[in-house]
């Protein structure tokens, strides 16, 4: 059965040492989730392109620890983001096989909406036991 966990998160994004002779940006981040997901995450992002011209892309992995609705454990999220002509496309998916504890077997996707700097999420997920 498909469920939804909705809420908000705050993110702390920090530049780290770049990769590939400076051609790939590297960032580390932490998030605090409130709502359907109660917990924190730690992640790593790699980016390339020229965001100031509206053309760029990034990939990221983060591990979320806490609870989703009533289930306690952790899982990883994989992000794929791109910007073409200033228009962003973002895909978040739960990494297969990454669930632990009561979240073992979790799968799904996360939709993100940013309004006035507030990050709102909707995690659509299934727990396969």
Query: What is the structure's pLDDT at 35?
Result: 98
pLDDT of residue 70: 94
CA distances for 27 relative to 6, 16, 62, 125, angstroms = 26, 5, 12, 27
Interval 86-113 mean pLDDT:
96
Element (H, E) at 65: strand 55-68
Q: Looking at residue 14, what is its pLDDT?
A: 97
**Neighbour tally for 64: CB within 10 Å:** 25
Lowest model confidence (mean pLDDT) among 4-13, 28-37, 46-55, 74-83: 46-55
pTM of the model: 0.93
CA angle 118, 98, 24 (to 5 degrees): 60
Q: What domains can be seen in the chain, in order of their start residue?
A: 3-127 (2.40.350.10)
Angle among Cα 40, 111, 55 to the nearest 5 degrees reads 100
The backbone torsions φ and ψ at residue 83, rounded to the nearest 5 degrees and listed phi first, read -130, 125
Going by pLDDT thresholds of 50, 70 and 90, the confidence category of residue 1 is confident
Query: With 90 as the cut, is the pLDDT of residue 102 above it?
Result: yes
Contact status, residue 6 vs residue 35, Cβ threshold 8 Å: yes
Q: What is the pLDDT of residue 98?
A: 98
Mean pLDDT of the chain: 96
Per-residue model confidence as pLDDT tens digits over 39-52: 999 999 999 999 88
Residue 64 has a pLDDT of 98
């Amino acid at each position: 059965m498909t469920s939804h966990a909705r809420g908000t998160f705050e993110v702390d994004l920090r530049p780290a040492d770049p990769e590939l002779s400076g051609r790939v940006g590297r960032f580390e981040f932490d998030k605090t989730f409130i709502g359907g997901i109660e917990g924190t995450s730690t992640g790593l992002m790699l980016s390339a392109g020229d965001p100031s011209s509206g053309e760029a892309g990034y990939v990221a992995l983060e591990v979320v620890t806490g609870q989703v609705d009533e289930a306690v454990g952790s899982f990883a999220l994989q992000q794929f983001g791109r910007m073409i002509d200033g228009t962003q496309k973002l895909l978040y998916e739960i990494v297969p096989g990454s669930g632990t504890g009561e979240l073992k077997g979790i799968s799904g996707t996360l939709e993100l909406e940013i309004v006035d700097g507030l990050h709102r999420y909707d995690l659509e997920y299934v727990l396969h036991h």
